[in-house]
Amino acid sequence: MSIIVAGDFVPKADVKPYDPFSDEIKDLFRESEYVMINLETPLTERGKPILKTGKNFRRSPKYAEILKNAGVDCVCLANNHIRDYGNEGVLDTIRFCKEAGLDAVGAGFNSEDAAKPLIKELGSVKVAILNYCEREFSIAEKNQAGANPFDLIDAYHNIQDLRSKVHKIIVIYHGGIEYQHYPTPEMVRYSRFMIDIGVDSVVAHHAHAYSGYECYKGKMIYNGLGNLVSSTSVRKPDESWFVGIAAKLSIMPNSSESELITLNQALDFSKVSVASQELRTRVEDHICEINKTISDPILFASYWDNKYSAYRQTLYRQLLIPIPSLRKVVKKTGIQLRMPIRYRIEVLNLFRCDAHRNKAISLLKPDV
């Protein structure tokens, strides 16, 4: 008995709704007891684009049936796009998916509803699925529909509450840094902690790049699945954009077996298939390298130190130049910006100290 978890689904825009799943993918999905994907777009024809960073996605409600017919059982909605078209988008998506016979987890009409776990009886095994995302512009609030934001204390209580009620707990975590094959150090800590407190598997997505995995205390953590079908990119996509992985997790009692399936999107996003043997070998070799780095604390820390210093000028431009078009001009000139030290430590204190961070967030939120 197994569950398949696959990554981001955002089919092409501006074309008639189409079925991108190859027959072999459908066979794989049908052989598994339960199939979950990340629906990285609302399915709606209503609503207005919300104010946010990044693009606003919206796709046809017909995709709910296309997914169901392909053998998908559940859509994970805790992601950074589910609120792109406001409350209407979130609520339509849940409604259309339910009407098509799909389960939905990770979003709701308010934060309490969004946090509800999905509990499934698969044969004789009772499985709980918790779906969280990082706090971007999609999250549900007390009076606002949206996604279930990750909060370590809430997650602890959710997991403790479920532990005696089900046989298996699976956490689906949507977070990390886009285009990166490595999870953030925080994600690794959170995933391991969730295993420590009783979760059976943690599976992450969001980066649009596949990542590594580890067997921690006998339980599987997949740090990033990459894309399932993802037609939209802010950069010119490289080969890895078209490669995703699906995690096939055993849900048999006392088993933590799992299998990795490599997937390959067509360059025009019209189809997703199982990868060729040659591509699979290349991806598996790359994943081995990623795994080695994540498992070595010194290598892993130095990977992120180097990345963060490469981001430095981008961050300076964001913090020092409020007008995006001017930022582009400054980037073109190659001028290296610096932050005056006094200003730098003030900003540091706003980000780093919990109390000041929350104060700053309450000021910056557009609805306040």
- Note the residues at the interface with Fe ion (CB under 5 A): 79-80, 206
Those residues with Cβ within 8 angstroms of residue 315's Cβ, 6 or more apart along the chain or in another chain: none
Least CB distance to Fe ion at residue 255 (A): 30
What is the spatial distance between Cα 17 and Cα 60, in angstroms, rounded to a whole number? 7
Q: State which residue, 8 or 92, has the beta carbon closest to Fe ion.
A: 8
Q: State which residue, 111 or 227, has the beta carbon closest to Fe ion.
A: 227
Q: State which residue, 117 or 226, has the beta carbon closest to Fe ion.
A: 226
What values do phi and psi take at 53, rounded to 5?
-90, 150
Q: State which residue, 206 or 248, has the beta carbon closest to Fe ion.
A: 206
Q: At what angle do helices 152-163 and 185-196 cross, to 10 degrees?
A: 30
Least CB distance to Fe ion at residue 138 (A): 9
* DSSP conformation letters of 3-64: EEEEEEEE--SSS-----B-HHHHHHHHHSSEEEEEE-S-B-S-S-PPS-SSPPP-B-TTHH
Least CB distance to Fe ion at residue 299 (A): 26
Contact of 75 with 37, CB cutoff 8 Å: yes
CA 65 to chain centre: 22
H or E segment and range at residue 247: strand 243-250
Q: State which residue, 58 or 206, has the beta carbon closest to Fe ion.
A: 206
- Residues linked to residue 246 through DSSP beta bridges, in sequence order: 261
Q: State which residue, 120 or 206, has the beta carbon closest to Fe ion.
A: 206
Least CB distance to Fe ion at residue 224 (A): 11
Least CB distance to Fe ion at residue 172 (A): 12
Closest CB to Fe ion belongs to which residue?
Answer: 206
H or E segment and range at residue 260: strand 258-265
Least CB distance to Fe ion at residue 55 (A): 11
* DSSP conformation letters of 147-197: E-B--HHHHHHHHHHHHTT-SEEEEEEE-S-TT-SS--HHHHHHHHHHHHT
Least CB distance to Fe ion at residue 40 (A): 5
Contact of 148 with 131, CB cutoff 8 Å: yes
Residue 178 CB neighbour total at 10 angstroms? 13
What is the spatial distance between Cα 294 and Cα 223, in angstroms, rounded to a whole number? 10
Least CB distance to Fe ion at residue 206 (A): 4
Q: State which residue, 65 or 84, has the beta carbon closest to Fe ion.
A: 84
Q: State which residue, 251 or 272, has the beta carbon closest to Fe ion.
A: 272
In whole angstroms, how large is the CA radius of gyration of the chain? 20
